[in-house]
Structure 1
Amino acid sequence: MKAMILAAGRGERMRPLTDHTPKPLLQAGGKPLIRYHIERLAAAGIRDLVINHAHLGEQIEQALGDGSQFGVRIRYSPEAEALETGGGIFKALPLLGGAPFLVVNGDVWTDIDPGSLRMADGDLAHLVLVDNPPHNPSGDFALTGDRVQPSGSPKLTFSGIGVYDPKLFAGCRPGAFPLAPLLREAMAQGKAGGQHHRGQWLDIGTPERLAELDRSLSQA
């Protein structure tokens, strides 16, 4: 399975840290955030990676190169301006191929094993949900068994990690568009599976959360 790391966000909430450094290259525990994803993917045997970028993207390519230093192969999907999650994945589809692929937000940290993620036959998406953090107390989606629903109780938070079939993007056109409407349509069709990850997960969306992660990793 191939994987895509989403790294095109501007990181407005992380300013001024992201004025001169792209968010995926901000450090915690002594190394860039994106490196944790690459190392975990490589350890799971997922070594064919695609990374999109926009803001200061050349720094990402310079830092990571072709991925050989990590034992992976990295190809890049540059965006003149960020295309949102859906548009960014759609643009990268030619690099991802025709089989289901894993996508992970570059600005989260987690201990989940990406090699354990599987999508059920006939599904268009498999989402990893987590307990609601303080900044998203109402959650995003409900999980009934292994089925993800747009409504219901209790709601969990979408982790930014999922496995997608390219057919999820059928009918889409180039340009910026969000992923959520496509996921909700898959849910309406009964083609969105999921799981509740009860391990570690943190959305690194603010300097305070980055500092929190840095303290945690430095003390480990």
Structure 2
Amino acid sequence: MTRYRKPLAIRPNSGGAPVRTAMVMAAGLGKRMRPLTATRPKPLVEVAGKPLLDHALDRLRSAGVRRAVVNVHYLADALEAHLRRKAGDMEIIVSDERAELLETGGGTVKALPLIEDDHFLVVNSDNLWVDGPVDAIRLLGQRWDDAKMDALLLVVPQARAHCHSGPGDFHMDADGLLSRRRPGKVAPFVFTGIQLVSRRLFADAPEGPFSTNILWDRAIAAGRAYGVVHQGLWFDVGTPGAIARTEALLAAG
């Protein structure tokens, strides 16, 4: 574990449930982003003049998040060097996965001892979002209901899932309760890679590498997985081709 921090003032989060901590997923191999990731980790690929990781950290910081736990694996030294320079009014803690890439679920389980709060954000570093009337992080905090939720996913309608291809991920009822897309069918909502979760979601989780999808399926079956629609723009910056399209859309908007 490595911590980076400069003792500057922290602006507290406003809204419903205060969200103080985020797990930022940055350990992936970046295979879809090759050849750009041959010499740098995907979170350090630049979009609109700034690394993807910085876009995510800056959005989190502006929403009042105080602590970011960032997992590293592929080209981890480069990521750690960047995070040392990035430290500011947010505590940045590295969760080291150099020995084994643990995927989204296993990586979060490994980082749990570094996460002090009962509920926290999990954010993929390979997407980029622009906030709407209510910013995405505060929206999740405002909608969080600890009595009935183990996971609250930020979703976006297919029509606003820029640079994303696929049949969709979820259906959502009027109360926000999520259900999976059925095989061979389409679904109207796409997961943005941003979610607010309870530590309960990880109770009795598998050991070693595994996907968060396993835990979502369990929460969906229990009626404890919900969604909320992002009010702004969202970009799936997963491939080199998506970079130019994202930059063009940002410049136009």
Same-fold status (TM-score > 0.5): yes
Q: Is the 8 A contact 2:106 2:208 kept in 1?
A: yes
- The corresponding residue for 1:180 is 213
Given candidates 75, 99, 102, the residue that maps to 2:93 is 75
CA distance in 2, matches of 1:218, 1:207: 18
* Ranges in structure 2 where 5+ consecutive residues have no aligned partner: 1-19
Given candidates 58, 65, 70, the residue that maps to 1:51 is 70
Aligned residues: 219
Q: Secondary structure at the match of 1:82?
A: coil
Amino acid of the structure 1 residue aligned with 2:93: R
Given candidates 7, 13, 17, the residue that maps to 2:36 is 17
CA distance in 2, matches of 1:219, 1:200: 12
The Cα of 1:88 is off from its aligned counterpart by: 0.7
RMSD over aligned Cα atoms: 1.9
Q: Is the 8 A contact 1:66 1:74 kept in 2?
A: no
* Ranges in structure 1 where 5+ consecutive residues have no aligned partner: none
Q: Secondary structure at the match of 1:97?
A: coil
CA distance in 1, matches of 2:102, 2:85: 23
Summarize the Cα distance change of 1:195–1:168 in structure 2 as closer, same or farther, 3 Å threshold: same
Q: Secondary structure at the match of 1:205?
A: coil
Q: Is the 8 A contact 1:84 1:176 kept in 2?
A: yes
Query: Could you give the per-residue CA deviations for residues 15-65 of structure 1, whole angstroms, max 9, x where no partner exists?
Result: 110010100001111111111111111111112110001100111110121
CA distance in 1, matches of 2:165, 2:208: 28
The Cα of 1:189 is off from its aligned counterpart by: 0.6
CA distance in 1, matches of 2:247, 2:181: 35
Q: Is the 8 A contact 2:67 2:90 kept in 1?
A: yes
TM-score by length of 2: 0.81
Q: Is the 8 A contact 2:151 2:201 kept in 1?
A: yes
- The corresponding residue for 2:191 is 158
- The corresponding residue for 1:99 is 118
Q: Is the 8 A contact 1:7 1:105 kept in 2?
A: yes
Summarize the Cα distance change of 1:207–1:147 in structure 2 as closer, same or farther, 3 Å threshold: same
Summarize the Cα distance change of 1:151–1:17 in structure 2 as closer, same or farther, 3 Å threshold: closer
The Cα of 1:67 is off from its aligned counterpart by: 4.4
Amino acid of the structure 1 residue aligned with 2:127: V
Summarize the Cα distance change of 1:216–1:154 in structure 2 as closer, same or farther, 3 Å threshold: closer
The Cα of 1:73 is off from its aligned counterpart by: 0.8
Amino acid of the structure 2 residue aligned with 1:128: L
CA distance in 2, matches of 1:135, 1:103: 20
TM-score by length of 1: 0.92
CA distance in 1, matches of 2:63, 2:220: 28
Q: Is the 8 A contact 1:131 1:198 kept in 2?
A: no
- The corresponding residue for 2:146 is 121
- The corresponding residue for 1:148 is 178
Amino acid of the structure 1 residue aligned with 2:138: G
Amino acid of the structure 2 residue aligned with 1:148: L
Q: Secondary structure at the match of 2:128?
A: strand
Given candidates 143, 153, 157, the residue that maps to 1:131 is 157
Amino acid of the structure 2 residue aligned with 1:179: T
CA distance in 2, matches of 1:9, 1:121: 30
Q: Is the 8 A contact 1:136 1:157 kept in 2?
A: no
Query: Could you give the per-residue CA deviations for residues 60-88 of structure 1, whole angstroms, max 9, x where no partner exists?
Result: 1101217433x211001111232111111
Matched, 1:34 2:64: no
